[in-house]
């Protein structure tokens, strides 16, 4: 478990602890647009999953699944002395947040467009889109990536599936995200594990689920299944895509603060 304890993270603010979990191929910096808003009222800990961002990979022989990533987050929280923190996640991170709520080890969980509520066709589409994004991130020479990130059309091509408003992402953030996607050693195995991903067991802690109404990766009709699974209404994030933190930081910060009361 030693590698698990070395997870990279950013910690800001004061108040009840709130752990933030990113999606597949991303890194903790996904939360930068909302970090300071949250830190005004919470002790915010944004984490890189093992094998993503600058966290080390899982130990050899450990499978990359949502469950093993949840194990890693659980032991990371124990190491930091966080007993039953609030947790929030996006996409894969949203699924892991719900998994931790199912285990009863968190105070609350908020999931933004969580993975795992797809049909077989929607899963095939999401995996193809993610694979294409990864291939493009790895193939693009740095100078071409920089030029693309600085042009409105290039940004649309690079980020159009992930966000509703590519113009709201800085060129620096887009380049850093592209680099993280191309370099993540845990990406392929984690993506393969999606084929067996089922919705988690019923939660033992209060949960909030919110979905970008313009999510082009995990289509918003999946919110209906998530609502059925949770027995509660799913909030729709108006004007937001799959990474709502970039599209409407104020709205997302509000949802996360309400969810972690």
The confidence score (pLDDT) of residue 169 equals: 93
Both ends of the chain: CA-CA distance in Å?
31
pTM (global) more than 0.85: yes
What is residue 2's predicted lDDT score, i.e. its pLDDT? Answer: 36
d(CA 4, CA 41): 28
The CA radius of gyration of the chain, in Å to the nearest whole number, is 17
Alpha-carbon separation of residue 225 from 117, 141, 209, 212, 221 (angstroms): 6, 40, 11, 15, 7
3-state helix, strand and coil shares in percent for the chain, rounded to the nearest 5: 50, 10, 40
Question: What is the C-alpha to C-alpha distance for residues 32 and 133, in angstroms, rounded to an integer?
Answer: 21
The pLDDT of residue 4 is 44
- C-beta separation of 225 from 232 below 8 A: no
Give start and end residues of each alpha helix (H) in 7-141.
32-39, 66-79, 92-103, 120-139
Average pLDDT of the segment spanning 27-49:
98
Give the pLDDT confidence score for residue 74 in this predicted structure: 96
**pLDDT tens digits, one per residue of 47-102:** 999 999 999 999 999 999 999 999 999 999 999 999 999 999 999 999 999 999 99
């Amino acid at each position: 478990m030693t590698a698990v304890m070395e997870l990279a993270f950013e910690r800001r603010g004061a108040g009840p602890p709130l752990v933030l979990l990113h999606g597949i191929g991303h890194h903790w910096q996904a939360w930068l647009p909302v970090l300071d808003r949250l830190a005004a009222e919470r002790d915010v800990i944004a984490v890189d999953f093992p094998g993503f961002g600058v966290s080390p990979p899982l130990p050899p022989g450990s499978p990359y699944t949502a469950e093993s990533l949840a194990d890693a987050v659980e032991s990371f929280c124990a190491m930091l002395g966080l007993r039953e923190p609030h947790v929030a996640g996006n996409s894969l991170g949203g699924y892991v947040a719900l998994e931790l709520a199912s285990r009863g080890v968190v105070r609350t969980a908020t999931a933004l467009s969580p993975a795992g509520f797809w049909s077989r066709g929607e899963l095939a589409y999401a995996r193809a889109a993610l694979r294409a994004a990864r291939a493009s991130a790895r193939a693009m020479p740095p100078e071409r990536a920089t030029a693309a990130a600085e042009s409105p059309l290039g940004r649309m091509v690079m980020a159009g599936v992930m966000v509703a408003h590519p113009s709201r992402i800085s060129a620096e953030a887009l380049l850093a995200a592209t680099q993280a996607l191309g370099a993540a050693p845990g990406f392929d195995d984690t993506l393969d594990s999606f084929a067996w991903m089922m919705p988690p067991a019923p939660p033992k802690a209060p949960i909030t689920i919110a979905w970008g109404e313009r999510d082009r990766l995990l289509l918003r009709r999946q919110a209906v299944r998530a609502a059925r699974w949770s027995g509660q209404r799913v909030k729709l994030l108006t004007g937001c895509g799959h990474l709502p933190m970039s599209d409407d930081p104020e709205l997302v910060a509000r949802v996360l603060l309400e969810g972690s009361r």
